[in-house]
Amino acid sequence: MPRIRDAGAADLVLLPEVEAASDTLLFGRPEIRGDLPLPGPADPQELAAARKVLVAGEPPVAFVRLEEVGGCAHLEQLSVHPAAARAGLGRALVEAAVRWSREAGYPALTLCTFARVPFNAPFYSSCGFAVVQPSGELARVREHEAELGLDRIGERVAMCFDPTPQS
């Protein structure tokens, strides 16, 4: 398994292609309305402005983009290239994101995702996330997603992981 590492400038230019390829995994899913387009991938400048970007592989075949929303760490994007899918990279990146959020002192790690796609909300549930009713800035993220048309593509949920170590 490739090690998880901080993204470098050379990685950032490759990540939009990884995200676009990853999005193809949604095509043809019964939980997704395939006749509606997904928003395009983040560009290298957006990725460079992220709070944190972690990658797997050299060159990268998977990445996680982390932001800050409402005082919490926020998993904005997790993408795994289809050629590298089902190898544990997504789970390894989520675990690295949880570690990073804990080490950075965030009270929680949030995300928004498709509710019924098996490698979306059910996957995150298996990683320790729980569906939450969004409020504050997280609710504004959900509103923005709706404005982008994501809710018309498939049911969306907000989720939260409390990164505080359990005793």
Q: pTM above 0.85?
A: yes
- pLDDT interval class at 38 (50, 70, 90): confident
On whether residue 166 sits in a domain, the answer given is no
Q: Is the pLDDT of residue 162 over 90?
A: no
Question: Three-class SS of residue 26?
Answer: helix
**Residue range 109-118: mean pLDDT, rounded:** 97
Q: Is the pLDDT of residue 163 over 70?
A: no
* Nearest residue to 157 via CA among 106, 122, 108: 122
Range of the domain at 54: 4-161
Q: Is the pLDDT of residue 167 over 80?
A: no
On whether residue 167 sits in a domain, the answer given is no
Which CATH number do you get for residue 113? 3.40.630.30
- Inter-residue contact 113 to 130 (CB < 8 Å): no
Per-residue pLDDT reduced to its tens digit, 43-90: 999 999 999 999 999 999 999 999 999 999 999 999 999 999 999 999
